[in-house]
Amino acid sequence: MPGFLLPASLPGLRFAPGGVRYDSAMIATFTDFGLAGPYLGQVRAVLYQRAPGVPVVDVFADLPAFNVRASAYLLPAYSQYLPAGSICLCVVDPGVGGERGALAVEADGRWYVGPDNGLLSQVIRRTAGVSVFSISWRPDTLSSSFHGRDLFAPVCAMLANGERPPGEPVDAVKLARPDWPEDLHEVVYVDSYGNAVTGLRATQLTSTSRVEIAGRVCGYRRTFCEAPPETPFWYANANGLVEIAVSGASAHTALGIDVGQDFRLIHSP
Amino acid sequence: MPGFLLPASLPGLRFAPGGVRYDSAMIATFTDFGLAGPYLGQVRAVLYQRAPGVPVVDVFADLPAFNVRASAYLLPAYSQYLPAGSICLCVVDPGVGGERGALAVEADGRWYVGPDNGLLSQVIRRTAGVSVFSISWRPDTLSSSFHGRDLFAPVCAMLANGERPPGEPVDAVKLARPDWPEDLHEVVYVDSYGNAVTGLRATQLTSTSRVEIAGRVCGYRRTFCEAPPETPFWYANANGLVEIAVSGASAHTALGIDVGQDFRLIHSP
Amino acid sequence: MPGFLLPASLPGLRFAPGGVRYDSAMIATFTDFGLAGPYLGQVRAVLYQRAPGVPVVDVFADLPAFNVRASAYLLPAYSQYLPAGSICLCVVDPGVGGERGALAVEADGRWYVGPDNGLLSQVIRRTAGVSVFSISWRPDTLSSSFHGRDLFAPVCAMLANGERPPGEPVDAVKLARPDWPEDLHEVVYVDSYGNAVTGLRATQLTSTSRVEIAGRVCGYRRTFCEAPPETPFWYANANGLVEIAVSGASAHTALGIDVGQDFRLIHSP
């Protein structure tokens, strides 16, 4: 995927010259729109119209609604396996229609486009050599409630078409949320099986670490197969985050835990 | 998108000569199939097989089930931003397997394909110079319960391939439902945030109009950001319909309103 | 769709020589991942990256969770209308991370890829001249919980690219589950309308057959239109399975039936 690695006129920036399309581009959506309703479909229609032939993948359509902080810790984990050249459309945007700005961030060969509300903060923080642009472009017609369709999707299409981000470079240091922790010791997502994904990277723990959550102590298991029934455990999920699960049951209901539930680490010798 | 604007042999009709494919064609689905289950997937498989390379976008998969009238008012609002040349597959079809006919409608450069049960009535009513065809073609094998897959999807694929609609022109005037109002003063959809979309176009109101619904009076706000918490308001949604919302809460639960709830307009001086 | 019908070096096998891509290939997913969450999206991203240009269709995203047996009877019914050359990615995999193997099955011109846990057993049993391969290939990085993304999706992409299945042929007879019946006289899926799909092929019944389920006797109706309101009936659904429904209502709630509910056939003279 050499597209985004071509020499560019601005030092430290890596984007393709205007007008070049890379066959391997892919647009991945990360939103809290939910699966129901007409929102994702309208975004896709804009993308297909403006960047024909570029595949669109809905990676996360049910990020925790209006929860920018939890979503900010999901984003790097669930985008890290996307191929270089991927363009991530990121929308958790409770302030839509207000004064918040818009960003395009180039990190590890991928683009991230979304509101300047902290959603991209952990991607920026964790990437060396990140490039951040403040998007100044606005469409002729901009609804007050659906910038995903009217603003962010067209910007993603521009990038997929090899155009430069329509705005000016800004200093990344100012944009990361320094008040948010490196890892978030909270549940950030509950999946359809009732497993509780946390904002903590599994690389921060060892197999002797334990997680105390909702009054229960969870030891480490490599897989569901190794866990005895009904016993809560933690494991490194397929995207590198600590996940709390109960074999054959829902951790969500068995432990009564949901997004926002915090926990404590017990590091054993 | 000149495809559908080429001169055609019948005056007033605009379709492409047989065999021509337009790169910019897009098929958009509007159905009450719901997201779960195998229905949309089977429709997509037919479309990909018969119109390879044409993108398919599910704009509305959860139109109110079996509710033809409410869906008829959503259809023009949520298809108006699709590019010219789009082909809308429209299925809310409680009478499937019975005697109702099938239609293809060309309106404002888009095609609409669906059952002749009133679903396309508001698209027809609101478009000058609309062309309506009664679809007489039937597949070799037609299930009694899934015309979306067996009948309407193949017709959409034909149109996407630049073929003529497989049927005869009919008089549009007879097909619109004259007993249905120009705008529907009812809730026609509740989205995943609990916002209540109505069948009333916002262009019919002014910023001093108020909506009385379920015993509450809602004033106008431009955006969610401008609305005080917990207070119901109306705004012009991103598709031009009047929408009832409560900032930071669900109008659906806060007001106890659902699809079918009617309301009254209060026009202030 | 001649691709998979080319002569191949092994008698009885039908795959395309390495390196050849067939334009008409399509990848269809059958999973219990559910629609919510980041699972299907990550699978799609792998497929688009490794088999660019091949359309991906999610036919069934909500197969009954962890229920391999019920899913095994849905799979042949809901894949039979896919075009020849389709590649079905099949994942209901409660034993992921354990010792179970992986299979690629060629049946009736389609490929099926999934765990060796009985999920593909009814496809194998019902197809004459089936070819079965044990997949020995493993990716460099294999998560313990998400073989759909890491193992099965890459194998599907290989097949879509015209490559041979990365493993060795094995004897099909050993793999079918002889302890599972030819047809399953149980509800195997409840759709979003509340209709109850069974594991029984409608070709096994006649129009005078009746189904006794949850204390109610259901006669045959050709369509919903022919059924009196509130009365449960059975019909041959659009995929050839016996389905229990109630016109204008949900059979799921009206009869209190769900996946796993068994029933009895009454064959009248």
Q: What is the pLDDT of residues B188-245, one digit of tens each?
A: 999 999 999 999 999 999 999 999 999 999 999 998 888 898 899 999 999 999 999 9
* CA distance linking residue B196 with residue C183, whole number of Å: 45
Neighbours of chain C (3+ CB pairs under 8 A): A, B
Packing angle of the helix pair C39-50, C153-160 (nearest 10 deg): 30
What is the average pLDDT score of chain A?
A: 89
Assigned token pair, C251: 């059979």
Q: Is the pLDDT confidence value at C260 over 60?
A: yes
Interchain proximity C192–B37, CB inside 8 Å: yes
| pLDDT of the residue at C203 | 96
Decide if C81 touches B, using CB distance below 8 A.
yes
Closest CA to A110 of A100, A120, A96: A120
Q: With an 8 Å Cβ cutoff, is A58 touching chain C?
A: yes
Q: Is A50 helix (H, G, I), strand (E, B) or coil?
A: helix
Of C26, C78, C237, the CB nearest to B49: C26
The predicted-structure confidence for A180-231, as pLDDT tens digits, reads as follows 999 999 999 999 999 999 999 999 999 999 999 999 999 999 988 888 988 9
Alpha-carbon span A142 to C269, nearest angstrom: 68
Chain B contact for A41 (CB, 8 A cutoff): yes
pLDDT 10s digits, A96-137? 888 899 999 999 999 999 999 999 999 999 998 899 999 999
State how far residue B10 is from chain A, nearest Cα, in angstroms: 29
Contacts across the A-C interface (CB distance below 8 Å): 79
Which residues of chain B lie closer than 8 angstroms to A65, CB-CB?
Answer: 192-193
Contact residues, chain A, for B78 at CB < 8 Å: 38, 42
Contacts of residue B25, defined as CB under 8 A and 6 or more positions apart, other chains included, come to B3, B51, B54, B85, B86, B87, B160
Q: Look up residue B203 and give its DSSP letter.
A: G
Task: Give the closest-approach CA distance of B154 to chain C in angstroms.
Answer: 14
Nearest to B81 among A34, A42, A44 (CB): A42
Q: What is the mean pLDDT of residues C183-197?
A: 96
Q: Which residues of chain B have pLDDT under 50?
A: 1-22
Q: Hey, how many other C-beta atoms are within 10 angstroms of the C-beta on A167?
A: 17
Cα(B177)–Cα(B70) distance, integer angstroms = 13
In chain B, count of helices (H) and strands (E)?
Answer: 7, 14
Q: Out of C26, C61, C235, whose CB is closest to B45?
A: C26
Which secondary structure element, helix H or strand E, spans residue C49, and what is its range? helix C39-50
Contact: A235, C35; criterion CB under 8 Å = no
Q: Which residues of A touch C65 (CB under 8 A)?
A: 192-193
Residue of C nearest to B65 (CA): C193
A185 touches chain B (CB under 8 A): no
Contact yes or no for C44 and A35 at CB 8 A: no
Q: What is the largest CA-CA distance in chain B?
A: 61
pLDDT attached to residue C269? 64
A146 to B238: CB separation less than 8 angstroms, yes or no: yes
C55 and chain A: CB distance < 8 Å anywhere? no
- Of the CA atoms within 13 Å of residue C206, those in its CB half-sphere come to 5
Out of A48, A143, A146, closest to residue B55 by CB: A48
B chain contacts of residue A95, beta-carbon cutoff 8 Å = 225
- Interchain proximity A45–B82, CB inside 8 Å: yes
CB neighbour list of residue C184: distance below 8 Å, 6 or more residues apart: C69, C70, C73, C198, C199, C200
Sheet holding A232-236, edge to edge: A184-190, A196-201, A241-246, A232-236, A216-220, A210-213, A264-266
- Look at residue B107 and give its three-state secondary structure: strand
Burial class (CB in 10 A: 0-12, 13-18, 19+), A11: exposed
Task: Check A224 against C145: CB less than 8 A apart.
Answer: yes
pLDDT mean over C115-144: 95
pLDDT digits (tens, 9 = 90+) for A138-147: 999 999 999 9
Q: How far apart are CA A119 and CA B233, in angstroms?
A: 28
* Crossing angle for the helix pair B39-50 and B153-160, to the nearest 10 degrees: 30
Q: H helices of chain B, where?
A: 39-50, 68-79, 121-126, 147, 153-160, 172-175, 251-254
Question: Long-range pairs for C173-182 at CB < 8 Å and ≥24 separation?
Answer: C175/C103, C175/C116, C175/C120, C175/C121, C175/C124, C175/C132, C176/C121, C176/C122, C176/C124, C176/C125, C177/C72, C177/C118, C177/C121, C180/C69, C180/C72, C180/C118, C180/C121, C180/C122, C182/C125
ipTM reported for the complex, 2 dp: 0.89
User: C57: nearest CA in chain B?
Assistant: B41
At A75-101, the pLDDT tens digits run: 999 999 899 999 999 999 998 888 899
Chain C positions touching A222 (Cβ under 8 A) are 97, 144
Of A122, A141, A119, the closest CA to residue A130 belongs to A122
Q: How far apart are CA B87 and CA B104, in angstroms?
A: 10
CB A54 within 8 A of CB A160: yes
Q: How many CB atoms lie within 10 A of CB C52?
A: 16
Give every strand in the sheet of B167-170, ordered side by side: B56-60, B26-31, B86-91, B110-115, B102-107, B131-135, B167-170
* CA B110/CA B114 separation, integer angstroms: 13
Read off the pTM.
0.91
Q: Do C38 and A239 touch (CB under 8 A)?
A: yes
Q: Which two tokens stand for residue B240?
A: 């031009």
